[in-house]
Structures are given as C-alpha cells and as structure tokens.
A = this chain, B = another copy of it.
Amino acid sequence: MTKTVGVGIAGLGTVGAGVVELLRKNGDRIARRCGSRIEVAAVSARDRARDRGVDLAGVTWHDDAAALAADPAVDIVLELIGGSDGIARAVIDAAIAAGKPVVTANKALLALHGSEIAEAAEAAGIALAYEAAVAGGIPIVKAMREGLAANRISRVYGILNGTCNYILTEMAASGRDFNDILADAQRLGFAEADPTFDVEGIDAAHKLAILTSIAFGSAVNFEAVHIEGIANVAATDIAYARELGYVIKLLAIARQTPNGIEQRVHPCMVPAEAAIAKIDGVFNAVVADGDFVDSTVYVGRGAGAGPTASAVVADVIDIVAGRQAPIFGVPSADMSRFEAVPMARHVGCYYVRLVVYDRPGVIAEISAVLRDERISIDSLLQRGRSENEPVPVVMLTHETEEAAMLRALEAFRRIESVIEPPRIIRIEEF
C-alpha cells in the first residue's frame, strides 16, 4: 500500500493554489516516482472566503499559519507566503521547532537570513528546500548543488528577473522608453502594481545571493551585492548597443576575481551572439561555468503558478524520497565568509555616452580625461555635426578599473561642452 504524506501549505496565492492543483492533477505520477501519495492536509491564508479556483474540501484550515507546523496531519510545511520576515519567518521557525521539513519559495527571506535559517534547520536535522526561490521552474539549485558538485565554479550569472527582461525585450523591439513599457507590462500582468523590487534589481539580487552561496560554498551575503536597476536604461542606449553588436540585459553576476568574490546586478551590454543575449521576454536563464564541465546554460520560466509549483513539488518529492544535500551545498559550519569586493575595484569594459555641444576641441578634452585615467578607447562614434547643437558621443573602452571610470565621469561633468550627465553601461564578454 502506498504511504500518504501530508503537506501543510502556508499561503494560497498564485503559487500556493498552483501547488494544490499540481498535487491533484499529477498525484498518480508523483506517487509512482516517490512511492508515496502526497496530499494537501492543511492550509492557511489570510482570506478564507476568496475563491482560488481550487477545491479545498476536506482540508483543515488554520487561521494562524504558524500553527500548521503543529498539525499532526502535516508532515512537510510549505512556506509560500513571501516576505523576508513576519509570518513567513514565523512559519519556518515553527516548522524547524516542530522538527518538520520545510519547502519555501521565499528568496527575500533566504537572501537576508539564509545562513542563519540553514544553521537552525541543520541543527534540528530537518530538510529545508527552496528550488522555487531561484529562477522559478528551472531546477538550477539542484543542478548547481548536485549536478555540478564536482566542479570549482568560477562564475555564475543570469537573467533572474522576468519582469526586467520583458521590459528590456519590449524596449528593444519597439524603440519605446522604459516608463511606457512598464505601464504596458503592468496592464498585461507582467509587472506588479508596485514594481520596485523587480525594476530596481532587488529581486534579482536576492536570487543571486543564494546562487553565490551555492556556487562558492560561502555564507549568503546579500549586503555585498552591488545593485542597479533598469529605470535609467534609455531607448537611445539600446539602439546604440544594437549598432555596436550588443544587447542590453539586466544580469546578475557572481564571479571569483583576484580580489575576491564579486556579486553584482546591473544592466549589461552583452554580445548579440551570446547565449544569454537571446533570452527574450519573461524567460529566465542561468549560466554556470565550472572548471571541468565548462559552461552550462539553463533556461525556463522564472515565475508563474505552474513553473513555481513544479519546483516546490520537486522539493517535496526529494524530501519524501529521502534525497538531501547540505542546504547551501556545504554544511553551515564549513561555509566560508567572504569580503565584499567593492564595485570600485571591478575591472571591465564600458560603454560611455556623452551629449556634447560639438565645438572645436571637445573630443580632445574628452580624450584627455581618459588619457589621464589611463583608460583606452576601443571605439568612438560621433554622429551629426552642427555647431552649438547637442550631439551624442559614444565610446567603448578597453578594460579599466571602475574607480578610474568614475573619476573620468566626474571630469566629464566639469567639461563645459558636456551638457547631460554622462551615462555608462558595463560590457560583459563571455
């Protein structure tokens, strides 16, 4: 006879309802694969009356989400509430205290308190799984933590926010500006009413902090992530990028540098031929580079009820089947700590766009600034030549330290003929 495992679901939003639906629809298949029938034993959500399109007849309702953990019918607790603290945290703490395994989709909570929670779960000897927290349906946590476990990872990067990628894709396709496309995205449901976490890069940074920990066996260090969003990406920069053979993407990048581990989320110019440049719309993608496996790429839907439920239930199946790995790849006691590499020490190539009055000598002035900072120019585009009319000057630099680039930008601002704040976009070559 097949054993039954009861899950308690805290949070019945899109993801929670998706998990209920998945367990109902694919219950037989799942039972064949893990030897147990997984049943929704109990749920908790704010509004008991709301119709979520799923049948909850016979399921115990708890008004207090944290009480799920104490329900004897609940074997595994699913935290699908979200938010870095508050109820979500209380649910996880209660599960750990009750010695029940937890599955969560909560990237904010893991980015901010991951190491501490992992330590508590480990001490209690319970599984804590979070495949859904990073890149939605893509099984990237499993791939990196187990599939690539034999490799020294030198770099992991990706498109971790579907909203930003959708907006940048639409900006490139239409030539329209950020605010226009954002409004469309909100109307179409691809962006939240309050899009701050997405468009400012915070959501991607949460996910990156988790991936960095898995990749490098280091404590989760969200504070060390350099974060810039996409609100300043101008349609004109996207057009110049295309002309130069590049695409602009919001990338989240963690890499081992001679100075330590760098973690950053910001708009990047990537070669149009790179795999990551071709990921359009709401899709997510992660590239992990290992010393033996070389480059591996993972693409799929990063959000939505179905993909997220797929990841949550995969974690439940792993727990039921007894498959466990150290929560962030290595036991908590072994997790290294790393110093943040300040962004000023980042070394890379830059796209620089100035708007200048095309007076005699302006290019000489600009060039002198770069020479003084020992920044060499790879290419320079200047279009239109009408004295006393503003014209754009676009440059690509060779590799330089960001500190030098920032000093150069300061100096550009002091040139009288430079009439707009200079814009830079970092270039990533793969």
Closest chain B residue to A140, Cβ basis: B147
Check: A16 CB closer than 8 A to any chain B CB. Answer: no
CB distance A307 to B324 under 8 Å?
Answer: no
Are the C-beta atoms of B307 and A293 separated by less than 8 Å?
yes
Q: Which residues of B contact A143 (CB under 8 A)?
A: 139, 142-143, 147
Instruction: Find out whether the CB atom of B150 lies under 8 angstroms from the CB atom of A313.
Output: yes
Q: By the criterion CB–CB under 8 Å, are B310 and A293 in contact?
A: yes
**Interface positions of A from 20 to 72, Cβ below 8 Å from B:** 22, 25-26, 29-30, 32-35
Asked if A29 contacts B314 (CB within 8 A), the reply is no
> CB of A131 within 8 A of chain B?
yes
Chain B residues in 8 Å Cβ range of A29: 152, 217
Residue of B nearest to A135 (CB): B296
Complex contacts, A323 vs chain B, CB 8 Å: 146, 323-325
Give 1 or 0 for each of A322-335: 1 = CB within 8 Å of chain B CB: 11111001110010
Q: Does A299 contact B (CB under 8 A)?
A: yes
Q: Which residue of B lies closest to A280 (CB)?
A: B273
Are B137 and A293 in touch, CB under 8 angstroms? yes
A353 within 8 A of B: no
Are the C-beta atoms of B32 and A314 separated by less than 8 Å?
no
- The reply on A381 being an interface residue by CB < 8 A is no
Expressed in whole angstroms, the minimum distance between the Cβ of A17 and any Cβ of chain B is 12
**Residues of A bordering B, CB below 8 Å:** 18, 22, 25-26, 29-30, 32-35, 131, 137-139, 142-143, 146-152, 217, 275, 278, 290-301, 306-307, 309-311, 313-314, 316-318, 321-326, 329-331, 334
Q: List 26 A-B contacts (CB under 8 A).
A: A22-B292, A25-B291, A26-B150, A26-B152, A26-B292, A30-B150, A32-B217, A32-B330, A33-B217, A137-B293, A142-B147, A146-B314, A146-B317, A149-B317, A150-B309, A278-B278, A290-B310, A292-B306, A292-B310, A293-B307, A294-B300, A295-B300, A297-B297, A297-B298, A298-B298, A298-B299
